[in-house]
Structure 1
Amino acid sequence: MKILRIAAALAVFIAGPLHAQGTGIAFGTPQDGDQPVEVTAEELQLDQAAGTAVFSGNVIVGQGDMRLTAPRVDVTYMTDADGNSTGGIDRLHATGGVTMTSGGEAAEGREAVYTVGSGQVVMTGDVLLTQGQNALAGERLTVGLDDGQGVMEGNVRVVFQPQDEAAEPAAQ
């Protein structure tokens, strides 16, 4: 059993970066998109006429177990048919180096767009996802927060750590 896991891990290393369309992954725990979105920052610039806000300085966005941190987050609010803001958040665009955590897993990238209505986060730019001691890297990570499923795309690289022999079940 251990030999098979090591062989699988070596196959990944020998193959080098994966150039497939994408690698499906699980990320964090599923989130309830109806939970409130909380944003904290050092500064807020609000443009009610445009239906936008800019949070800057140690920005933390939280919803359920999900946390997203960045130096700057631009928020676009939902609007009605007449173009008036309804007060709900439509989209958040985080820039300047972004970290997202959920359920003990973490992803880092240059920027991320969180579309609240669809519960989808798209992180781009040298994305690194860590899951325990395993790591996945690529250019684009798309995660559906409602089901915790994601896809890593663009020059995907994976490092799997073999399990400890002590964790192996005894042969019968």
Structure 2
Amino acid sequence: MALLFRRYLLTMERSIKLIFLAVGFLALCVGYVHACTCGPRSDNGCQSDYSLRGVVLTVQNLNGRDFYEKEYLVYVERYYKEIPLRQMYVRIRSARQSSLCGVQLQIGERYVISGSVDGPRLRTNLCVYTRTWDSIPDWQKQNLYCGPGALNLPLLAPST
């Protein structure tokens, strides 16, 4: 009888350890899962820090300790929302995966891109207004301008 009780206790102890191990593993997984969730979307980039139309020239994968991003070099054709330095060429960063709200821009394609200004960096993601130029209806292209200075300010030459 004592032997059966001892086996029962060992079986219960193993079961409890397995339950705690499973719960700990699930908690760890939930802590590291990220997903892209966006609020209501805008009909233009005016809700963002910047908005521009440009052509993607290059794409570069960036690896860091805490980030996996892509950096796009974009030739700017027109600014729709003013930013402090209006350059002809800008670098725009985004997460690599769409699950982290990253955008996938194609080299040679013309886009309207909006996003945030983070210090010296421009950023974009799936939650802001970023569309291929050809996919925007003509009536909506007229609503891309976000202020009086957006139309005629000259671009700055790229710094060397």
More strand by share: 1
- Scaled to the shorter chain, the TM-score interval is under 0.3
TM-score w.r.t. the length of structure 2 is: 0.26
More helix by share: 2
